[in-house]
Amino acid sequence: MATDELSSKLSRRLQIEEGAEDPVAVDAPGQHTGSEEKPNTANANSELGAKLLRREELNEGIGEHSLPSMKIFNPYTEFKEFSRKQIKDMETLFKTYDAGKDNYIDLMELKLMMEKLGAPQTHIGLKNMIKEVDEDLDNKLSFREFLLIFRKAAAGELAEDSGLCALARLSEIDVSTEGVKGAKTFFEAKVKAINESNRFESEIRQEQEAKKKQAEEQKQRRAAFKELQSAFK
């Protein structure tokens, strides 16, 4: 019986393929054809195929790996308005008050800093100081955010009576006692000092180039003289 039934099914399929009969869908009671699962299976196969194709493209160097952005902070390239020495000094100051040595200055460490600088702040004042430069909203100061204080101060973006302005002013040399060539304010004097420093460095480089050129010319003259001497021997 099983052989006859199988033979009948094969014969019917052959007739359908040859066009002799039209296929008829018949659902037997209590039987599942699995047609309900076909869309899900197709989607899974499609997704798997896309992933395999993507991996193959990456292996062949066609596509690019999509990795999360990991920008490395370089204070010397991002804060070009400050000299390397100034950034080093700011880093030293930052590390001095980073009591937890976690590369952050939190509210209590900022409180201690302002007290040491002679400009103590209220709890609300300290929170406002952090909030003004806290770009990642973690309620503490990273070294980059610490440098932003001095950038804002130099650009005149801080209120004169603000805690951040006091921090920037008191943590640097007060030009009013140093008398830096008639500069009106501390930050004007700082910008002027930076420009003078850059000009001084440029002059040093020019002197070094001139000395190098002079030494090279002397070397060439000595070589020419020796060559001339050997010609007369």
Q: Which residues of 43-60 are buried (b: 16+ CB within 10 A; e: fewer)?
A: eeeeeeeeeeeeeeeeee
The pLDDT tens digits for 196-228 are 666 667 767 888 888 888 888 888 888 877 777
Same domain assignment for residues 146 and 204: no
- Cβ 181 vs Cβ 170: under 8 Å: no
How many other C-beta atoms lie within 10 A of the C-beta of residue 168? Answer: 21
Residue 5 included in any domain? no
Range of the domain at 221: 180-232
Same domain assignment for residues 141 and 210: no
Higher model confidence: residue 126 or residue 33?
126
> Which helix (H) or strand (E) segment is 225 a member of?
helix 186-232
The pLDDT tens digits for 73-129 are 899 999 998 888 889 999 999 999 999 999 999 999 999 999 999 999 999 999 999
Residue 33 included in any domain? no
Count structural domains, the chain.
2
- pTM of the model as a whole: 0.47
